[in-house]
Structure 1
Amino acid sequence: MLRRLIAALPLAIALTPLPAAAGPDPLPPFACTGPFAADTDEAALIRQFGRANVVFRAVPAAEGEMVKATVLFPQDRSRRVEIIWLDEKKRRRPGDVLVYDPGPWRTPEGIGIGATLAEVEKANGKPFTLSGFGWDYGGSVLDWDGGRFARTTAGCRLLLRFEPPGTYEGDVDGDREFRSDNKDMRAAKPVVYQMLLSYGGE
């Protein structure tokens, strides 16, 4: 009997399922709370995400400028976040928190990079106002027009920027205001290409 048990051990071990490989820790919501709250600083980000995932470096900004920012996950574009500080010297009090690339970051309402105009309208609860395309600030949400995203936390608001995925017809270019339910805007089928938490009143 003992011999049978010993002989069966290798088979039993082989059939025992291995634990699943651990993936990246789930990310918090992309919101004006938690790690991106008004009182956060670089030290808090290091505690949350780990020293190896937080660096301070120059990053490109609008109109060809370079600015200093704390960058989360600099080696993983899908999770990369840039934080530009109001107090750059002490690296505290975020001014802008930016996400550019498709990945797991989502607002509490489930909006992420690649969200469509219709999906953002639904999450906002109504149409909103955005700028025309084809310039540095093209496709930027200018006003949530009283929707859910119009709510602010500690002076922080969510801003999104859209761009069409390809060529489009209709006059929706330039430094002008358009409603998201404008027929030409809808026909262009823009999607979110940047998410921004702004404490700077942009």
Structure 2
Amino acid sequence: MLTRLAISTLIISSLALSPVAFAKTKDKSSPAPHTAPERVQCEGVFGPDVTVDMIISHFGAENVEARVEVDSVEGVPVFGTLVYGDDPDRKIAFQWFDEANTRFVSYVDLPPTLATPEGLYVGQTAAEVAALNGEPVSFAGFWWDYGGYVFLHDGGKLWNTEAPCVPMIRFAPTVEEPDVDVTTISGDVTVTSDDPLVAKVGVKVQTAGMGYQYPEGYDGFDEGEPVEE
């Protein structure tokens, strides 16, 4: 079962979106309509035992930044491993429980050209996610630091604690100036995907990835010499 730390690692993996920040943030482009991206599996380079060496071997050293700052909330630096970092359509970001030594994967952020094992990907509507889940999904209200994070663990088919990794997604509205009162879906509130306002503001998946279990036996303290800056 995922620990709270694994969930919090996801939260510091994406940029916080205030109304102003959302307007300035370039969202990942979604795939062409009706064209689902390739699903990755929670194994190999996307498995819980992945290492930086495996990533380099799989994608090629010229495409990998082994230890670099990745997107985070409120400017808190998070060190991860980037693949295709200059290409937003292919960029993959690995985060680690042990940031100093880039080991023990905690979260993988996928590009819009890839989907989680469950079929979740950037650009899906809230209704499409609910259909995959078999019931409405709930998420944090928008326009604050943790806005749009989806609580898949609240119930449905998408969350399986027995799986080696679990899907983690974040919603964002795509209508920048909605002609409706959005108070009830703003701030530190819980929203459900069947709320009529969700469709009216064009809510879609902004980030999609996988979260991993906290490594058994790891106490959270760095062991050995950290990777030099």
Query: Does TM, normalized by the shorter one, top 0.5?
Result: yes
Q: Deviations over 1:147-167 (max 9, x none)?
A: 221113556321111111112
The number of aligned residues is 173
Q: Deviations over 1:14-33 (max 9, x none)?
A: xxxxxxxxxxxxx9734533
* Preserved CA contact (<8 Å) 1:58 1:66: yes
**How far apart are the structure 2 equivalents of 1:65 and 1:141?**
21
Shift in CA distance, 88/106, structure 1 to aligned 2, threshold 3 Å = same
Check whether the contact 1:71–1:83 (CA below 8 A) recurs between aligned residues. yes
Query: In structure 2, which of residues 54, 57, 70 is the aligned counterpart of residue 47 of structure 1?
Result: 57
Cα deviation per residue 1:45-95 (whole Å; 9 max; x = unaligned)? Answer: 112111111112122311112221100111211110111111234322111
SS at match of 1:35: helix
What percentage of aligned pairs have identical amino acids? 32
Corresponding residue SS for 2:82: strand
Q: Counterpart in 2 of 1:94?
A: 105
8 Å CA contact 1:31, 1:197 repeated in 2 = no
Aligned residues: CA RMSD? 2.2
Mapped contact 2:116–2:208 kept (Cα < 8 A)? no
Give the 3-state SS of the residue equivalent to 1:79 in structure 2.
coil
User: Structure 1 stretches of 5 or more lacking a match?
Assistant: 1-26
Match of 1:80 among 81, 85, 91: 91
Q: Which of 133, 140, 163 is the matching residue for 2:149?
A: 140
The letter of the residue matching 1:141 is: V
Q: For 1:36, which of 21, 43, 46 is the aligned residue?
A: 46
1:49-198 counterparts in 2 under 5 A?
A: 49-55=59-65, 56-99=67-110, 103-153=112-162, 156-166=165-175, 167-168=177-178, 169=180, 170=182, 171-198=184-211
For 2:43 and 2:188, locate their aligned partners in 1 and report how far apart those are by CA, in whole Å: 32
> Partner of 1:150: helix, strand, or coil?
coil
**1:3 aligned residue:** none
> C-alpha distance in 1, partners of 2:55/2:201?
38
In the alignment, the residues of structure 2 paired with residue 155 and residue 50 of structure 1 have an alpha-carbon distance, to the nearest angstrom, of: 25
Aligned mates of 2:71, 2:118 — CA distance in 1: 29
TM-score, structure 2 normalization:
0.68
Q: 8 Å contact 1:31–1:108 — kept in the other structure? A: yes
Check the 8 A contact 1:129/1:144 in 2, yes or no.
no
Higher relative contact order (CA 8 A, sep 6+): 2
- Normalised TM-score (structure 1): 0.76
What secondary structure sits across from 2:142 in the alignment?
A: coil
Q: Which has the larger radius of gyration?
A: 1
Do the aligned partners of residues 127 and 34 (structure 1) sit closer, same or farther apart at CA in structure 2, a change above 3 Å counting? farther
Distance 2:148 2:123 in 1: 13
Unaligned runs of 5+ in 2: 1-36, 215-229
Query: Helix, strand or coil for the counterpart of 2:210?
Result: strand
Evaluate the alpha carbon distance shift between residue 39 and residue 181 of structure 1 in structure 2; reply closer, same or farther with a 3 A threshold.
same
Moved more, 89-98 or 124-133: 89-98
* SS of structure 2 residue aligned to 1:141: coil
